[in-house]
Amino acid sequence: MKWDDILLMRHELQLLAVILIVTCTEIYLTGKDKARVVPFAIALFTLHMVAGWIKPEEGMWFGGMFRTTPLIHMRKNILDLGVLIVLLQTAGWVKKQLVDENRVSEFYLLLWSSLLGMYYMISSGDLLMLFLGLELSTLPIAALAAYEVIRLRSAESGIKLILSAGLASAITLMGISFLYGSTGTYAIPELIKILSGTSLENLGFLFFFAGLAFKISLVPFHFWTPDVYEGAPTGVAAYLSVVSKGSAVFILMILLLGLTPGGMTEIWTWTLYVLAILTMTIGNLFALRQRNLKRFLAFSSVAQAGFILLGFFSTGPDGMASIIYFVLVYIFSNLAAFGVVHAISVETGKEDIGDYDGLYRANPLLSLVMLLAVFSLAGIPPLAGFFGKFFLFMSVASAGMYVLLFIAVVNTVVSLYYYLLVVRAMFLRKSEAPLAYFKSDAWMRASLVICVIGILALGVWSGVYEYIYQLCV
């Protein structure tokens, strides 16, 4: 083992160190002092994230099980960003709810462990490694979803997640074993060379794919999403909807875009084709009628996942760059929406769309953030979401799939309708009993500012996309 090799795993080891430091620090604090863990944890994580931007190395370790490239590195950085925003959004809630219960550092421990799992998943050069990462990233989230144990809904959400995830894992594992049985190897690069598209291989892949589809919540693997989002603490739901989903998209990208040259193109194209249409359409149609905002965002995030699939049809760097870009944009937009919901939910306990009637008059700033967030999610220029969708549509057009493009575009219009419902509630409706004005805590405000900057700047400042594109070439 050489020093250079260790440096390859720098990102993971850093995070591990952060986890250990925070956990140990909490031991020395008692009572109310435990609240101090929060700023400490956020500061350490920020440090970790900044260090993540140091010029990355390229290479493999453990006989190709672990690998890293600048592109992989950037994916981790993007996830870090999402996690940082979630940390800022949950800070107030952690202080308010968890300090008394003496469960502060566990929250961070679980959240970061799951992130660590995602790192390994993204870096894996081997199906087993990938599976381990997948498990490590899922199990802590189930605990987090049930974190507010006294609330039945939260406990239920945890149980549902772990049961569904267990099923998904079982099927994934079966898929992996089929693949292994058929090819005799776990290593992804070799696998790509050997695969020829026999029925067993296809079966193995579909099973394997189902596991990832579960994490991205593609239809019909999405059933758990609304229930878990609704029951889980809002910050955890936010984490599930962007970071967890983003990591699964990244790994899917590595697999699919790597595999397509092998004999599997046809089956992939059609699977994705059908799932993309199903996911966009079903997600949108369900979102139309939701009253609870967390449920609403859950279905909206299902629909957004369908849009992400559009990027997979162009096999060149365009497709890859547009997916990564979309995930980045989606992190900002969706976290802004979740942030507002979280702020209001923590302060007032209200989560229904009806409670947002007339919000603009009571709390103009929060409403404006929400407005930007949903407009970005709906893909209205000049916000970042527009560019994200535009690039994805561009990839579909480049693949010559006009029918799919048409369906995607119609779905965007449908989604516009329900996103406007939120805008209408906030700006255009009056309420007998509007929510009272409140000022959210500084952490929350910081997170919303970051999101808003992201939503506004990513679209207008083209450097980001070009940077991603260059890494993808």
Partner 1 sequence: MEGYNYTIWIVLLPFLVFLVVGTGSLRIRPIVAGWIGTGSILITLALSLMCAWNYFGAGAPEGGWQTLIPYDMVWLRFNDTLQVHMGILLDPISVMMLVVISVVSSMVHIYSLGYMKGEAGFARYYAFLSLFSFSMYGLVLATNLFQIYFFWELVGISSYLLIGFYYDRHSAVAAAKKAFIVTRFADFGFMIGILLLSWYTGTFDFATLTSPDGAAIAKAASVSFMGASVLTWALVLIFIGGAGKSAMFPLHIWLPDAMEGPTPVSALIHAATMVVAGVYLVARLFPLYIFGDATALEVVAWTGAFTSLFAAIIALTQEDIKRVLAYSTMSQIGYMMLALGVSGSGGEEGLGYTASMFHLFTHAMFKALLFLGAGAVIHAVHSNLMDGMGGLRRYLPLTHASFLVACLAIAGIPPFAGFFSKDEILAAALHKDPVLFGTALLVAGLTALYMFRLYFRIFWGENKSYAHPPHEAPATMWVPLMILAALSALVGFIPFGEYVSPDRLPHASHLDMSIAITATAVSVLGILTAMWLYRKPSGVPARISGGLGALYRAAYRKFYIDEIYMGVTKNILFKGISSPVAWFDRHVVDGAMNGIGWVTARVSKEIKGLQSGHVQQYALGFMLGVLALVFVFIFWLKQ
Binding site for partner 1 (CB under 8 A): 152, 155-156, 159-160, 163-164, 167-168, 171, 199, 202-203, 206-207, 210, 214, 219-221, 223-224, 226, 266-267, 270-271, 274, 282, 285-286, 288-289, 316-318, 380-382, 386-387, 390-391, 393-394, 397-398, 402, 405-406, 409-410, 412-413, 416-417, 420, 424, 427-428, 430, 462, 465-466, 469
Smallest gap from residue 83 Cβ to partner 1 (A): 27
Task: Say if CB 290 and CB 420 are below 8 A apart.
Answer: no
Smallest gap from residue 421 Cβ to partner 1 (A): 10
Q: Report the residue number, 82 or 379, with the smaller CB distance to partner 1.
A: 379
Q: Report the residue number, 119 or 356, with the smaller CB distance to partner 1.
A: 356
Q: How many CB atoms lie within 10 A of CB 428?
A: 11
Smallest gap from residue 460 Cβ to partner 1 (A): 9
Smallest gap from residue 455 Cβ to partner 1 (A): 15
CA nearest to 248, candidates 266, 225, 265: 225
Measure the CA–CA gap between 368 and 385, rounded to whole angstroms. 16
Smallest gap from residue 400 Cβ to partner 1 (A): 8
Residue 228 is which amino acid? V
* Sign for the pseudo-dihedral over CA of 184, 185, 189, 190: negative
CA 434, distance to chain mean position in Å, is: 32
Q: Report the residue number, 60 or 267, with the smaller CB distance to partner 1.
A: 267
> What region does 63 belong to: left with phi over 0, alpha with psi -120 to 50, or beta?
left
Q: Kindly compute the dihedral angle of the four CA atoms of residues 279, 283, 284, 285, in this order, to the nearest 10 degrees.
A: 110
Q: Which residues pair with 61 in a beta bridge?
A: 66
Smallest gap from residue 193 Cβ to partner 1 (A): 22
The label of the residue with tokens 């997948």 reads 134
Judged by DSSP in three states, 184 sits in coil
CA atoms within 13 A on the CB side of 288: 12
Structural tokens at position 122: 């993204």
Smallest gap from residue 438 Cβ to partner 1 (A): 19
Longest Cα–Cα distance of the chain, Å, equals 68
Q: Report the residue number, 189 or 382, with the smaller CB distance to partner 1.
A: 382
Smallest gap from residue 324 Cβ to partner 1 (A): 14
Residue 219 is which amino acid? V
Render 316-371 in DSSP notation, one character per residue. SHHHHHHHHHHHHHHHHHHHHHHHHHHHHHHHH---BGGGGTTHHHH-HHHHHHHH
Q: Report the residue number, 191 or 320, with the smaller CB distance to partner 1.
A: 320
Measure the CA–CA gap between 328 and 464, rounded to whole angstroms. 10
Q: Report the residue number, 55 or 430, with the smaller CB distance to partner 1.
A: 430
Task: Say if CB 99 and CB 35 are below 8 A apart.
Answer: yes
Task: Say if CB 328 and CB 78 are below 8 A apart.
Answer: yes
Q: Report the residue number, 6 or 409, with the smaller CB distance to partner 1.
A: 409
Q: Report the residue number, 66 or 207, with the smaller CB distance to partner 1.
A: 207
Q: Which residues pair with 221 in a beta bridge?
A: none
Smallest gap from residue 224 Cβ to partner 1 (A): 6
Smallest gap from residue 462 Cβ to partner 1 (A): 4
Q: Report the residue number, 30 or 199, with the smaller CB distance to partner 1.
A: 199
Q: Report the residue number, 207 or 356, with the smaller CB distance to partner 1.
A: 207
Residue 80 is which amino acid? D
Task: Say if CB 59 and CB 68 are below 8 A apart.
Answer: yes
